[in-house]
Amino acid sequence: MTTSNNLTALRRLPRPAGVYPCVNCAAVVGTNYPTCPTCFLAIERYWLADWDAFLAQEKIQPGSADEQTIAHIIIDEVERHPWTVLDIAMTLLTCNSCGSELGGGPPDCTECAAAWGNTLWAEHYAARLGLVTGNEHALHVGRMILRHSHRQSASIFAAWRRSTPRLLTGWLPTTEFAQRYMALIKAGRLAEVDAALHELDQTLSMRLA
Ligand SMILES: [Zn+2]
Ligand SMILES: [Zn+2]
């Protein structure tokens, strides 16, 4: 049956040692996940590594009809797979209610909302086994928001498109940092936010140097 060997996620590839500019769009790589292919892959590759490993374990060719079939099956086996694997399965499926990528429909599509509920439940299940860090949880949420930004407020999107690339380095903001940062974003004080992040980027590089 299609049970994964273990439920850890996002740990197959080394994380970047600090933030760096995207060769395609020049923003901190990952910032423009929705529109820049290089930013997209900088984040998505961690998920795809888990998906590729799952396909290899199941002896399924990427891009085959079997890949589509297995995506349908595992979406109903929430507790048996790493949450990254469920996230990628969702990208291969279409929502029966709204016709969008599963999880990517309008904010009022309950089937799309339920799909996200399922992958968050899978993460919660793994967390209870001690297999999810706070940083990994934040990346799970961050990718979801970047991928389907129309389901979020403009402030939430503005916050997460900036924080997610930094999370890739292993960084996790303190509650105080996150609250101060969100307040500035809601107030439209983006120049101050970006100045603070620029300062943070120096410490991330130094910490990992
Ligand atoms: Zn880019
Ligand atoms: Zn939907």
What's residue 173's pLDDT?
93
Which residues of the chain register pLDDT less than 70?
1-5, 207-209
What's residue 94's pLDDT?
97
Please answer whether residues 14 and 24 qualify as being in contact, where contact means their C-beta atoms are separated by less than 8 angstroms: no
Q: Give the distance (Å) from ligand 2 centre to CA of residue 106.
A: 7
In a domain, 13, yes or no: no
In a domain, 118, yes or no: yes
Q: Which residues contact 182 (CB under 8 A, 6 or more apart)?
A: 155, 159
In a domain, 164, yes or no: yes
The whole domain housing 197 covers 37-208
In a domain, 176, yes or no: yes
Q: Give the distance (Å) from ligand 2 centre to CA of residue 118.
A: 14
Q: Give the distance (Å) from ligand 1 centre to CA of residue 21.
A: 8
Query: pTM, whole model, 2 decimals?
Result: 0.95
Half-sphere exposure in the Cβ direction for 25 (13 Å, CA): 16
In a domain, 29, yes or no: no
Q: What is the secondary structure of 92-120 as a DSSP string?
A: H-B-TTT-SBTT-S-TT-HHHHHHHHHHH
Sign of CA dihedral 3, 146, 158, 171: positive
Query: Which amino acid, residue 88?
Result: I
What's residue 1's pLDDT?
47
Question: Could you say which ligand is closest to the alpha carbon of residue 101?
Answer: 2
Question: Could you say which ligand is closest to the alpha carbon of residue 99?
Answer: 2
Phi, psi of 183 (to 5 degrees): -65, -40
Q: Give the distance (Å) from ligand 1 centre to CA of residue 20.
A: 10
| Adjacent-strand bridge partners of 28 | 21
Q: Give the distance (Å) from ligand 1 centre to CA of residue 185.
A: 22
Q: How many residues does the chain have?
A: 209
What residues have their beta carbon closer than 5 A to ion ligand 1? Answer: 22, 24-25, 32, 36, 38-39
Q: Give the distance (Å) from ligand 2 centre to CA of residue 165.
A: 27
In a domain, 76, yes or no: yes
In a domain, 31, yes or no: no
The tokens describing 111, both together, are 């089937």
In a domain, 18, yes or no: no
Domain count, the chain: 1
What's the start-to-end Cα distance of the chain, in Å? Answer: 44
